[in-house]
Each structure stands twice: as C-alpha cells, then as structure tokens.
Structure 1
Amino acid sequence: MSALLEVDHVGKTYVMGGLLSHDEVRAVDDVSFTLTEKPEIFTIIGESGSGKSTLARMILAEAPPTSGTIRFEGKDVTHLRGRKERLAFMKRVQPIFQNPFEAFNPLKKVDRYLYMTARHFNGARKRADLEAQADIALKKVGLSLAEVKGRFPNELSGGQLQRIAIARALIPEPALIVADEPVSMVDASLRTSIVNLFMDLRDTLGVSIIYITHDLATADYISDRIIIMRKGEVVEAGDARTVLANPQHPYSIELKNAVLSPDAAIHGTALDTVDAMEPT
C-alpha cells in the first residue's frame, strides 16, 4: 500500500535573540512517521511546548522545516511554490483549529465561509451549486444549511461552530484532515459527539485524520496509532491500544497516571494535568 503522508526526519529550529547573541531552540527534533492510504486516526500527543502544533504547521505547509522532508501522495511538499501548487495541496489537506470562535469573523454570516470554500476549491459559481455543496457538507456533520443560513457566529454554540468548521474542511473532499486540539474549546457535554464525528468521517468518507491533543484519555478513545512527543522529540510510538495499555517511556507512564479514568476526558471530567506538568 502506497503512502499518503511521509514525514521523514523532520526538524524545526528557531533562532532567538539578536545579531550579537542568540540561542537556537529545537521545537521539533528528527520526527518520522508514515500514513498509508488506509484511512486512520493518527494522534500526536504532548503537553504545551512539546512541538506537536509546530509539527502540525509543517505538515500543513504553513511553516517550512529546518531539516527533513514531508511528502504527500509521493510529492515533496516541504517548500510549495506558487498559488496553483499550494491550492492543489490545500484541496487535499485541510486544517481544523482549536477555537471555532476564532475561525469565523463575528461580523460575517457563517454560510458565507462555506460558499467561499466551494468557490475557491471546487470552482462553484452559481448560487444553487454553492448552497448544494454547503448543505451536503453540513449534513455530513449532523447539520443542514437551513439551520445555519444567515446566522452570525454569536448565534451559534461552540459545538455548532466546530461542526461548521469541519463541514467547511470537507467541502474540497480532502484525503487528510489535520485537527489541532479540536475539542479543547468546546463544552464538555459536546466533546463526545465531535470526537465520534471524527471517527465516523474516517469510517464513512475514508478521510485520514491527524488528531493533535494533550489529552491521553481522548487519544485512547479515538486513535488507531499514536506518537507521544516531549520537548520536540518522539518518545514513544505505535498502535494506540498497545502503547497506552503498556507505556514504556517514563514520560508516557507519567501521562497515563495523570488520567482519572479511560473515558474521563471525553466527558470533560479528567484532571487537565498534562499542560500543568513540569518537564523533568
């Protein structure tokens, strides 16, 4: 089976300071993994500062790696050049961000974003085509155009907005979605439905998902495979059930011990201790 995504010895270094004195900060250090064409949920786990979001930005071609190569569907996408090349990549790889309230301009109606995406990526022009594509995508996430048409972001809940953001990402029919902490800003009562939605998208649409989280319980619930990151490095990787049932690295063990119960984070009752941990 051919590879969908290949992350090959990727690193990202930032230079801090001025001309006379500066320090190098290694945000991501020699990370490698491969996603095949078989749809899966591949989870990147780590606390704040672990490098997981920096890695996501490189996969999305929003930041070039300092070292290593990222290939998508066999093509080197480390340094995309030109609007046409970038547009073709973005049609196949779509992001979903942490805060749905920041994904939408409060002064614009949310359906406009869906129409813009259909026009930008799919070339739709007629009003009927724009609305049809928006409605199809919304129905995939349990909504409809009739429910959201003409409404501003403040007229919708965080859970509804995140579903609309997911629907927007589905309009170009991507092969890969990169979701960075997509339930951390959603009410606890709605987290389960959104996490289940990602699993349904994998199973029904054949979309692979890179799911980024600091929450081990959510990862245990949703993931097929995982990597655990600390200080920019991958400290453990493999089948999610195997790694989380019997972690080997001391940091992985520490994360597991921080979880109250296997489904605690899904229901919003787990102690949010991962971000609070002091690195050792």
Structure 2
Amino acid sequence: MKRPDVLLSGKNVTKVFGYGKNKKTAVHDVSFDFHEGEIVSIVGESGSGKTTLAKMLLGLLSETSGEILYKGQPRSLKSHADRKKYWKDIQAIFQDPFSSFNVFYKVERLLRDCIKLQGLKLSEEKQLEMMKDACSFVNLKFEELHNKYPFELSGGQMQRLMIARIFMLHPKILIADEPTSMIDACSRSTILDMLLKLREANNMTIIFITHDVGLAYYVSDTIYIMEKGQFVESGPADEVILNPQHPYTKQLISDVPKIHEEWNLAI
C-alpha cells in the first residue's frame, strides 16, 4: 500500500533568538516529513522547543536556517496575500482559547471571518447555514452564542468554537498546541473525538504539540520526541513508546504509569 504524500516537511530547520552572549537556540537542526492524513505528535517538556517549531510551521516565525517545504515546494510568506493563501491550508488550535479570538468581535463575526478567509461569496442564508452546521458539529447552538463575546463563554465552549472554525475552513493541516490541557477530563475526551472526526472527514493532517506522552501514544500514527530543541527519537507511535531507545523518551514514559506498565509487558 502506497504511503500518503508528504504534505509538510523540514530540512535542518534551526531557530535562534538573540545575538552574541544572549543568543539562544530554541530549535536546532530538525528534519521531518508530515504526510497527508497523518496524526503526528511532537512531544517534549516545557522549553523543549516544540511551540517555537509550531510557530515556524504556521509561518508566524521565520526559520534562522534550514527550510520548511509545503507540498514539496519552498513556502512564500513574504506578503500578506502569500500568508493568507497559506493559512487557508494550515490552521491552529492553541492551549488558551481566550487568546485565540478578538475579544471585541462577537461569535457571529468570528465565524463569518472564516467564510471571508476562503474568499467565498455566499448569500446570507447560506452563510447562516454554514455557521449553524459548524456549531452543530461541536454540539453548540448558534442561536445561543451568535450575539455573545468570547469572554462570555466558558473555556470548553471556546475550545469547541475553535474547532467549529476548523470545520468551516477545511484546512489541509491542523496544528493543535496543547489543545486539551486547560479543560476537564470529560471535555478533553470530547474535544479529541471531534478532532479525530474532522481528520476522518477531510483527510486532514493533525500535528499535536504536547507534553502528554499518553495522549501522543493513543492518538498518533507518528511521534517525534523533542529535547532541548532537537528530535532525539521519532517513528511509529507503538515503536517509540513501547520500545524507546533514548533516555529522554524512557524518562517521559516512566512518568506515565499505565504506559510504563504496557511498555514493561511488551518487553
């Protein structure tokens, strides 16, 4: 069976902040291939460089050296038009949903902007239908939310609203940066289920940025372990978690008892 095409790739990507004595290398010489429809997790503790890498993938930060390719071609992100075109295909969900929306825009405006980003010219009736469908997908009622501001919603509602935006935009790639870390266990399961349904419906590539090795193991096809700005181990999820080779990977697994038990049984 032919493996899906590589959608997003990196060659020797490095990000350095500052100069001279204040210079800090946040990401150092990482290479990767993310395939169409694949679920990838980039796992590491706070300060490992994973969020900096996510921002580079999104085009919010430029790489100091190396190259990130989209569909096999160098990205062109110099102009606003270039970035807008790129962001049609690559979107993100962040850890803090309240920092992800303009607090001065009501929910209806936030959803209408998704239609505008795609350059769609639709009737008022069709726009309303799209917004209602998106809310329904995440178990929200548009009629109850459309006239509210983000700060009037709960954290769980905001996370769902971010997924509703993804539902409307149909991106090729979704970067999910700790998307469930600020919500309760029940909501966490629901959010993950919604993301996986989106992946199935749209053959979307999902890149989880997480410190949660348990989450990575249970949802991912491929895992990259990141320590001090470098990938120290990568491969199929079962291989990385059940037969880890690097001491840092073993340390991460040892902090998750259930996975640690499965790992011991496997070996």
- TM-score for the superposition, normalised by structure 1: 0.85
CA distance, structure 2, for counterparts of residue 35 and residue 120 of structure 1: 25
1:5 to 5, 8, 15: 8
2:161 to 161, 164, 167: 164
In structure 2, the partner of 1:32 is: 31
CA distance in 2, matches of 1:168, 1:124: 17
Q: 1:236-272 CA distances to partner (integer Å, 9 max, x unpaired)?
A: 1000112111211101000000113349xxxxxxxxx
Q: Pick from 149, 153, 161 the counterpart of residue 150 of structure 2.
A: 153
Q: Is the 8 A contact 2:163 2:195 kept in 1?
A: no
Gap regions ≥5 residues in structure 1: 264-280
Give 3-state SS (helix, strand or coil) of 2:18's partner: strand
Alignment of 1:96-115 (within 5 A): 96-115=93-112
- Give the structure with the higher percent helix: 2
The equivalences for 1:161-240 within 5 A come to 161-240=158-237
Across the two proteins, how many residue pairs are aligned to each other?
257
Structure 1 partner of 2:264: none
Tell me which residue corresponds to 2:77: 80
1:240–1:108 Cα change, 3 Å: same
Once the two structures are TM-superposed, the CA of residue 193 in structure 1 deviates from its matched residue by 0.9
CA distance in structure 2 between the partners assigned to 1:29 and 1:8 by the alignment: 11
Deviation digits for residues 92-117 of structure 1 (CA, Å, limit 9, x no counterpart) = 00111111122234443222101122
Provide the alpha-carbon RMSD of the alignment. 1.9
Q: In the TM superposition, what whole-angstrom CA distance separates every residue of 1:31-67 from its partner, at most 9, and x where no partner exists?
A: 1111222x12100001111000000000001111011
Query: What is the one-letter code of the residue matched to 2:66?
Result: G
Contact 1:179/1:209 (8 A) holds in 2:
yes
Is the aligned partner of 1:135 residue 2:132? Answer: yes
Query: 1 CA distance for matches of 2:71 and 2:60?
Result: 18
Q: How big is the shift at 1:160?
A: 1.6
Residues 199-244 of structure 1: CA distance to partner in whole angstroms, max 9, x if unpaired? 2211222111111000111111211101000000001100011211
Determine the C-alpha separation between the residues in 2 that align with 1:149 and 1:262: 42
User: Structure 1 residues 91 and 148, CA, compared in 2 at 3 Å: closer, same or farther?
Assistant: same
Task: Report the 3-state secondary structure (helix = DSSP H, G, I; strand = E; otherwise coil) of the residue aligned with 2:118.
Answer: helix
1: CA distance between counterparts of 2:52 and 2:68?
14
**Which 4+ stretches in 1 moved above 4 angstroms?**
none
Q: Deviations over 1:157-201 (max 9, x none)?
A: 211210111111332221001111111112233111111222221
Shift of 1:140: 3.1
